[in-house]
Amino acid sequence: MPTGPEPECRGGCGSSSVMTARTLASTLVAMMVAGGAACRRGGSTGMPTVDWLSVPPQAGPIGVSDNRRYLVDHAGRPFFLHGEAAWSLISATKREDVELYLSDRRARGFNAISVVLIDHLEPPTNAYGDAPFSVRGDFATPNEAYFAYADWVVRRAAEKGFIVLLSPCYLGYEGGQEGFYQDVLRNGESKMRGWGSWVGARYRDFSNIIWLNGGDYNPPPEGIALLNAVVAGIKAEDDRHIHAVHWGPETSGSEIEVPWLDLNTTYTYKPVYLKALLDHTDASRPFILLESTYENEHGASTQLLRAQAYYAVLSGASGHVFGSFPVWKFASNWQEELASNGALSMSHVRSLFADRSWFTLQPDTASQVLTGGSGTKGSTDYALLAMTQDRHLAIAYLPSRRAVTVDMRQLAGRARVSWYDPSNGTWAAIEGSPFASSTPLTFTPPQQNAAGDGDWVLVLDVAP
């Protein structure tokens, strides 16, 4: 969860003409069903090219594949986690806000959200005035009214087809007042295990949870012991759901040893592929990109947001989580940001990968396939390629326009080659395609993409 001051409101904040959340929700859902689009920006429709509302949602609970390399749904099918940070969805919204948010995000192809079950707020209540605890900070005093609403949010997410990466006890950046770490210390091991047991029993029968423990902090040994107590309590009551962790920035899940980790998590503000490629070397569990730079924070460009997602998947991730302010916090005027350029670009990430064998992609770390034009490794301008194990599919992300050379002999046969515009999800044919697998070839994107940026995706499919 990002920290620091909120950016200034943009795009007509405070205008009396802005629709209420309830009106906007009903209007948006109606327009989606009719195939229209709401929340327009810059004269461009905010809806993706794929009608995700017509795609049956994949059910949970989510598990891990037999080879430990990717996530699977309840039927054992590969699950591409295409998520968004919605940290304060439970603590900062009312029912009509939840309906608006989930309906919009499903239409854009998202199928997962990261959410804190309890938020260390001022005042410490949800949007209905209910606090999580009857005695503030006392984990032995859960307030039924608060958790009844939390239950409704998680169930509604399931009905809309969302997996919820649910944080049972967000610790907070550097263990400070943003989170519950100081309260956890005061409660002690017995109470924290009891809290875990209470949470585990309450949410055991929910189909759509991945437990996301910790939160923006690498605790000292005393804190790790308390976190382990929470998870031990959960696992004593709930053996259905897998566990991930949210350490501090630049720390992946597996970098701090805990006995319960099922899903590794990448967390970095540096070029994502640097840490993601290292996480790919952990053959004991799959990984996802959990957090990187959020939209409207730290000067992030839309191209950077796209790069983070593509770098993760092409490094072997089983999915990624996108973030955008003010949406993650559900702060003032968050509804106006639902159709942000970043969110629209994310729709096209899932459109590209969903029907392809993304779960067998192997990053071309030795540059055997992409032999020219990669750029400097370690920079934000590095081109990365991954190829499936059967050599029938190769995908490369180019963060800027340049000529790249592909050794076609590495592919399993004659290949259709085309450019995919990651900014609007359209395709550009390459003259002469399909190409024989007989010699290296050089390809150059036709122009800047539709957004005026230089990033493109090169897709090579072996022809049947």
What phi and psi values does residue 281 have, to the nearest 5 degrees? -75, -15
What phi and psi values does residue 278 have, to the nearest 5 degrees? -70, -40
State whether 344 and 392 are in the same domain: no
Helix axes 144-159, 95-107, angle to 10 degrees: 20
Rg (the chain; Cα; Å): 22
Q: 384 lies in a domain?
A: yes
State whether 119 and 246 are in the same domain: yes
Per-residue pLDDT at 299 exceeds 50: yes
Query: Coil, strand, or helix at residue 440?
Result: strand
Q: 452 lies in a domain?
A: yes
Cβ within 8 Å of residue 282, ≥6 positions away = 254, 264
pLDDT single digits (tens) 103-136? 999 999 999 999 999 999 877 899 999 999 999 9
Sign (positive/negative) of CA torsion 408, 364, 76, 308? Answer: negative
Reported as a pLDDT band with limits 50, 70 and 90, residue 244 is very high
State whether 377 and 333 are in the same domain: no
The percent of residues in the chain predicted with pLDDT above 90, rounded, is: 85
State whether 159 and 263 are in the same domain: yes
Residue 320 near residue 277 (C-beta atoms within 8 A): no
pLDDT value at residue 363? 98
pLDDT value at residue 25? 43
pLDDT value at residue 274? 98
pTM exceeds 0.85 for this model: yes
Cβ within 8 Å of residue 149, ≥6 positions away = 90, 126, 128, 130
State whether 281 and 393 are in the same domain: no
The residues with which 415 forms a beta bridge, in sequence order, are: 435, 462
Q: 354 lies in a domain?
A: yes
Helix axes 341-353, 302-314, angle to 10 degrees: 20
Choosing from 333, 359, 385, the residue where a domain stops is 359
Per-residue pLDDT at 41 exceeds 70: no
Per-residue pLDDT at 33 exceeds 70: no
Q: 326 lies in a domain?
A: yes
What phi and psi values does residue 32 have, to the nearest 5 degrees? -60, -50
Torsion (CA) 246, 249, 255, 256 in degrees, nearest 10: -60
State whether 329 and 392 are in the same domain: no
Per-residue pLDDT at 91 exceeds 70: yes
State whether 245 and 383 are in the same domain: no
pLDDT single digits (tens) 43-86? 333 445 678 787 777 667 999 999 999 999 999 999 999 999 99
State whether 342 and 260 are in the same domain: yes
Residue of 42, 157, 145, 44 lying closest to 105 (CA atoms) = 157
State whether 378 and 333 are in the same domain: no
Peptide bond into 132 cis (omega under 30): no
pLDDT single digits (tens) 156-208? 999 999 999 999 999 999 999 999 999 999 999 999 999 999 999 999 999 99
Locate 181 and state its tokens. 């770490």
DSSP string, 14-29: T-TTSPPHHHHHHHHH
Q: 370 lies in a domain?
A: yes
pLDDT single digits (tens) 422-431? 999 999 999 9
Q: Count of domains in the chain?
A: 2
Q: For residue 101, give the amino acid letter.
A: Y
State whether 162 and 296 are in the same domain: yes
pLDDT value at residue 48? 53
pLDDT value at residue 122? 79
Q: 41 lies in a domain?
A: no
pLDDT single digits (tens) 389-416? 999 999 999 999 999 999 999 999 999 9
State whether 159 and 145 are in the same domain: yes
Q: What is the largest CA-CA distance in the chain?
A: 71
More confident residue, 325 or 39: 325
Domain with residue 75: its CATH number is 3.20.20.80
What is the Cα–Cα distance from 340 to 328, expressed in whole angstroms?
13
State whether 226 and 374 are in the same domain: no
Per-residue pLDDT at 36 exceeds 90: no
Which domain covers residue 346, as residue numbers?
Answer: 47-359
Q: 39 lies in a domain?
A: no
Residue of 266, 253, 189, 199 lying closest to 221 (CA atoms) = 189
pLDDT single digits (tens) 445-459? 999 999 999 999 999
The residues with which 429 forms a beta bridge, in sequence order, are: 418
What is the Cα–Cα distance from 462 to 391, expressed in whole angstroms?
8
Q: What is the mean pLDDT of residues 208-234?
A: 98
Choosing from 328, 359, 390, the residue where a domain stops is 359
Q: 38 lies in a domain?
A: no
Domain with residue 369: its CATH number is 2.60.40
Residue 9 DSSP one-character state: P
Q: CA angle 98-103-106, nearest 5°? A: 120
Choosing from 301, 328, 359, the residue where a domain stops is 359
pLDDT value at residue 56? 77
Cβ within 8 Å of residue 391, ≥6 positions away = 410, 411, 412, 462
Average pLDDT, the chain: 90
pLDDT value at residue 6? 36
